[in-house]
Amino acid sequence: MLKLAIIGTNWITDQFIEAALQSKRYQLTAVYSRCRENAAQFAGKYASPALFDDFDAFASSSLIDVVYVASPNSFHAPQAIQLMEAGKHVIVEKPMAANFLQAQKMVETAQKHNVLMIEAYMSAHLPNFKILKESMPSIGPIRQGFITYCQYSSRYPKYLAGERPNTFEPTFANGSMVDIGFYCLSAAVELFGEPESLKAEAQLLESGVDGNGSVVLQYRNFNIVLQHSKTSNSYLQSEIQGEDGALLIDMISIAKKVTKFNRGSEVGIDLSVQQESNPMYYEALEFADQIEKGQSDDNATQRSLIVARLLEEIRRQTGVVYPSDAN
């Protein structure tokens, strides 16, 4: 059983721990937080993991095999690199790094120290997303697509009230595109590979990050439009159109439902299967397999690097700059 440690004490960390424990492949052995009181309060929900507020001691601890890194985005690379240099496997919450250079260095560090570094992009491991990918040939040559994730952030009212939550702070390498637009972009790359070019637009907040935006990915014979927002909601499904039909996806991040429409038919065919209630369960299982076998998924690593490079180009086109870009 893998000895799991976590960085970060928010809801997504809870969700991953629950998925990891459900898989019966991990035991939670350590919790790190810069504030020991936060670590103690968070760890109290679980079976007495060790508490750390000293990162050097945490990274070198023999209590740990693998670390789930769910700190703010700007901390992902420096923390993951130090952990890997100490011989720890790392599962890094998306996006894996604040910029492409950091992402490259993370991959190189994993290779140098013979450990695994995995980006926690859960969608690709979901049964319904796999069904979506396998069903692509059935709709004929792809002609266009629309992938959307727009969700009004629970922290946006605080931002409007004059507060500066991490979600809307460039210091922490945040914003709509890297947070939820990431799912749209990663889905496109997972399904279709790297685009030939892209065109991005965004509406920037006064803090300097994007509140919402859109991206057009140009492939050889089709384009894919991405729509993302943390300042508004959308009730549309994502859609991939082929010459012989279309595939509709409800909630691209968790692939809640996949429906196929054949050309000329107004009746959709539900291709979905029932999935575990915790969507992170499948990635937790996959990561455990990779770590125990000592074999990384090279295709997933390449996808992560492509996405990191595209995210940087999107930020360049939309004018979103992070302080960490100087590193």
What CATH number does residue 222 fall under? 3.30.360.10
Has residue 194 been placed in a domain? yes
Domain end marker among 54, 88, 122: 122
Has residue 304 been placed in a domain? no
Q: What share of the chain is helix, strand, coil (3-state, %, to 5)?
A: 40, 25, 35
Tokens of 163: 């507060």
Among residues 142, 112, 91, the alpha carbon closest in space to that of 287 is found at: 91
Residue 11: which CATH number?
3.40.50.720
Number of structural domains, the chain?
Answer: 2
Residues 313 and 170 in one domain: yes
- Can you say how many angstroms the Cα of residue 167 is from the centroid of all Cα atoms in its chain? 15
Domain end marker among 92, 122, 152: 122
Domain that holds residue 63: 2-122
pTM: 0.96
To which H or E segment does residue 227 belong?
strand 223-229
Distance CA 159, CA 165 (A): 6
Has residue 190 been placed in a domain? yes
Among residues 108, 101, 211, 198, the alpha carbon closest in space to that of 159 is found at: 211
Distance CA 249, CA 183 (A): 13
Residues 23 and 61 in one domain: yes
Domain end marker among 70, 93, 122: 122
Among residues 60, 62, 65, the alpha carbon closest in space to that of 26 is found at: 65
Residues 118 and 128 in one domain: no
Q: Count of residues for the chain?
A: 327
104 class by beta-carbon count within 10 Å (0-12 exposed, 13-18 middle, 19+ buried): middle
Residues 14 and 33 in one domain: yes
Distance CA 52, CA 31 (A): 6
Has residue 22 been placed in a domain? yes
Has residue 302 been placed in a domain? no
162 class by beta-carbon count within 10 Å (0-12 exposed, 13-18 middle, 19+ buried): exposed
Residues 212 and 272 in one domain: yes
Beta bridge partners of 223: 144, 218
Residues 98 and 212 in one domain: no
Has residue 300 been placed in a domain? no
Amino acid (1-letter code) at residue 145: G
Has residue 288 been placed in a domain? no
Q: Which runs of consecutive H residues, i.e. helices, occur in the chain?
A: 11-23, 36-43, 55-60, 73-85, 100-112, 127-135, 156-160, 176, 182-192, 281-293, 298-318
Residues 133 and 277 in one domain: yes
Residues 174 and 321 in one domain: yes
DSSP 11: H
The one-digit pLDDT tens for each residue of the chain (327 residues) are: 999 999 988 889 999 999 999 999 999 999 998 888 888 888 888 887 999 999 999 999 999 999 999 999 999 999 999 999 999 999 999 999 999 999 999 999 999 999 999 999 999 999 999 999 999 999 999 999 999 999 999 999 999 999 999 999 999 999 999 999 999 999 999 999 999 999 999 999 999 999 999 999 999 999 999 999 999 999 999 999 999 999 999 999 999 999 999 999 999 999 999 999 999 999 999 999 999 898 889 999 999 999 999 999 999 999 999 998 876
Has residue 138 been placed in a domain? yes
